[in-house]
Structures are given as C-alpha cells and as structure tokens.
Amino acid sequence: MKKVMNSAVIYFIVAMVSGVFYREFTKMADFSGNTTLGVLHTHLLILGTGVALLLAFVFKKEQPKNFNKLFIAYNITFPLMILTMLLRGIVEVKEITLSPALNASLSGVAGLSHIGMAVCLLLFLLEIRKKYLKEIEEF
C-alpha cells in the first residue's frame, strides 16, 4: 500500500500546484471566462488523491489478485486525462486556434483516457463490492 499512499501524496501536490497555476495563469492572461483549467484541481483531488486513499483504506490488508495491473492502468490513464485537460485549458485561455487534425487528436486522446478511467474505476468498484459482499455474508 506504500505505492498507493505515495501516489495519493503526489496527486495532492499536483492538485495544489494546478490550483495555483489556474489562478495565476488566467490572471496573467487577463482571462475571466470558463476554462477546463478550472476543474483540473478538483479532478486531481477527487480522482487522484481521493481514489488512492479509498483504495489504500479498502485494500490495506489484502489486495485483489489483479490490483497491481489495475493500479498501473489507472496511473497511466489518469495522468493522460489530466494532461489533455491541461493542454485544452491552456488552448482555451490563450485562445489558440488548433488545426482540425490537432484538435481532433487532442479530443481523441482525452476521450480514450476518460474511457480508460471509467473502466478502471468500474473494475475497482466491482472489487470493492466483491470484498464487502464476502464480509457481509460472513457476518
């Protein structure tokens, strides 16, 4: 569980940095509208720190056999999703016009990373459900 707790700490630090970046970057650009950068901080706190803490708490004594693979997949798709949100937010604030191909590529990677996140979260939830159903039946 050390790696899970370490990832929670890292995601927390990145979440704090992203909040400061959002505030300062939009202030420097004199931007006052809505941007994807505005939700980056919350995504990092909840899906990064929160999910890691939940997993550490739920699986502190025994991990499901596929936990490591799932955790690796989660830690590939989540940072990829965060990166696409960061890039999209910067493009929005700077009002950069992307070529249709580049815009489609960014949207495609964002979509695939969101799908990956959804699959990982669903599989984690199913493992949590399985763990607690066993405990309830034993009770």
pLDDT tens-digit series, residues 91-104: 999 999 999 999 99
Total count of domains within the chain? 1
Asked whether the beta carbons of 43 and 83 are under 8 A apart, the reply is: no
Would you state the pLDDT for residue 62?
Answer: 85
The whole-angstrom separation of Cα 13 and Cα 2 is: 17
Range(s) of the domain holding residue 111: 2-138
pLDDT, one tens digit per residue, over 9-66 is: 999 999 999 999 999 999 999 999 999 999 999 999 999 999 999 999 988 888 888 8
